[in-house]
Each structure stands twice: as structure tokens, then as C-alpha cells.
Structure 1
Amino acid sequence: MSIEAALKSLEADIGQEVGTSRWITVDQPMIDRFADVTHDTQWIHTDPEKAATSELGSTIAHGFLTLSLASRFAYDCFPLMPGQTMGINYGFNRIRFLSPVRPGARLRGRFTLTAVRKRTATELLRETQLSVEIEGQDTLALVAEWLGLAVFA
């Protein structure tokens, strides 16, 4: 598929939900590993006993841990298009953390295509609205406007 054909195909999907990922469980060991890697060991993430006495009642995942799962969610929803050689995270326009994620919560990403344009002769810039759902809750964990490049040969 040429980049022009991919652009035309994606333009038809603007405003549409283009994918929902599988659920992933965020547990305390995942939160602890993220704390170790990022050096963010604040007790609200890593000390279940102390966190149980806080107003939140338990530890919570780092907001950036929840955001970092966006890449995992995208693997479920954005396979490479014919002729595409790779996808690149280009950044975010807006991110809002709406609800804490507690250990044991299951999350999934839901993507809506909001814009697409040809950036270069080999790149399409795709903007998606990402909503991260927490299973069994009405309030989302986060919403974000995510930019991604689809790179073609």
C-alpha cells in the first residue's frame, strides 16, 4: 500500500473509534518495578501499610505508569499497514489523569482517530484520542491526545 492509499484509508476513519485493546492487570509488583526504574518511590505507590491509612485507602499506580501502558495498548490496535515499516511515538498534545489506579485494577485503551496528515514523503502523522478505562469504574484513568508517526518505505 502506498502512503497516499494509507492516508486516504485513514481519512475515512477520522472521528471513528479505531481500536480497543485487551485488558491488562496493574498489580503491586508492577507498581514497585516502575517505582524502581523511575526512582519514584513515594510511599503512596510503594508502602501498602502506610497507604492503607491515607485518604486513598491503598497504594496507587503512578500516573506515568498508566500513561506508559499506552504503548502496550497500541500494539493491540495499530498493526503495521501494508508498506509501513514502523510506528514512532511522536508525543502528546494533552494528558489528564482522571482517576487513581489501584493494585489489581484492569486497564484497557480505547482509541479514536481525530486527525491524520502527510508529514513527509514517508510519514503520516496520526492523532488519536486515547481513553484508558478501569474495569468496573465509570471514571477513566486518563485521557490523552496522542501523536504517532506511521513510517513508510
Structure 2
Amino acid sequence: MSKLPLQVGDTCSYTKTISESDVYLFAGITGDFSQMHTNEEFMKTTPYKTRIVHGVLTFALGSTASTLIQVQAKADIPSVSYGYDRLRFVKPVFFGDTVTAKYTVVEVDEGSMKTFAKVEIFNQKNELCTVAQHILKFIPA
């Protein structure tokens, strides 16, 4: 059996400023035009006081980090996402926020050819906004 290309403690990150166009393109792709994301006047009446970014859009940046860590490790074994567990949107992300998705391998299971990673997404104030556990499944050639 091949040794997996990731080890406990391996980490990488991906940073992006979320623009209004990112949110509207995401809304168009998903069909989620909730007024939480698209109606500034309505949002002024809420505790948020302004539109918020889709949680799933923010979370999706963790997927980018999962790809980047494999590039960083020069992984030569194909892999697929096996899914995410314990996803939580703990703090809102606002238009114009710069978020960083941090991906950290916390467990390697050679027998099942899976790695488990902590996905954390922080805003520019280093406040935790989104968390999840990612499972990566490696596929032997």
C-alpha cells in the first residue's frame, strides 16, 4: 500500500477578499438570492446592519485549501473529497472581508487511505467564522 502524501500537522492556507460580485455570482450559480445576501435595506433592520456572505461560499474556500495542500505535498496519489463533518458558521462574513481558510491535517489513516483535517476560516480580524472537518480519500492507482 502506498504511503499517503500528507502527515499530521501539515497545513496550508488560502486568502481571498470577498467582493459583492463574488456573492452575486454565487447566488446566480446556486439560486440562493436570500435577502440576507442581496437586500441591503432589509439587512439594515437586522442585528447585522448589512448584507452577509453566504456561509457556503465562505466554507467553499476550505475546498481550495484542500487542493492546495495536495499541491504543496506534491501528492502523486489521486484523491477525492470524502465529505465534511461538523460544519458550523460561527460568525458572519461581510462583503469586503478578507478571509483566510486554514487547512490542518489532524489524522492520517493509512489503512483506509484517508486523511482528516481541521478547516478553519478566519476574517481579517483573525476571528473564527467557519469550521469543519474534512475527510480526504486517496485512490490507489
* TMscore range, shorter length: 0.7 to 0.9
- How many angstroms apart in 2 are the aligned matches of 1:132 and 1:54? 24
Instruction: Return 5+ residue gaps in structure 2 as ranges.
Output: none
The change in CA–CA distance for 1:151 and 1:81 in structure 2 (over 3 A counts) is farther
Does residue 83 (structure 1) correspond to residue 76 (structure 2)? The answer is: yes
Return closer, same or farther for 1:119/1:66 CA change in 2, 3 Å cut-off. farther
Alpha-carbon distance in structure 2 between the residues aligned to 1:115 and 1:22: 21
* 1:19-58 equivalences in 2 (<5 Å): 19-58=11-50
TM-score by length of 2: 0.86
Question: Match for 1:145 among 126, 133, 139?
Answer: 133
1:82 Cα deviation from its structure 2 partner = 4.7
Q: Describe the shift of the 1:104–1:82 C-alpha distance in structure 2 as closer, same or farther (beyond 3 A).
A: closer
Q: Describe the shift of the 1:119–1:31 C-alpha distance in structure 2 as closer, same or farther (beyond 3 A).
A: farther
The equivalent of 1:3 in structure 2 is 2
**Identical aligned residues as a percent:** 23
Cα-Cα RMSD: 2.0
Offset of residue 105 of structure 1: 0.7
Alpha-carbon contact 2:62-2:120 (below 8 Å) kept: no
Superposition misfits of 4+ residues, deviation over 4 angstroms: none
TM-score, normalized by length of structure 1? Answer: 0.80
Q: Is the 8 A contact 1:20 1:108 kept in 2?
A: no
Verify: 1:132 aligned to 2:121, yes or no: yes
Q: Deviations over 1:55-78 (max 9, x none)?
A: 101100111111122122223322
Q: 2:69, 2:124 → 1: CA distance? A: 18
Deviation, structure 1 residue 53: 3.2
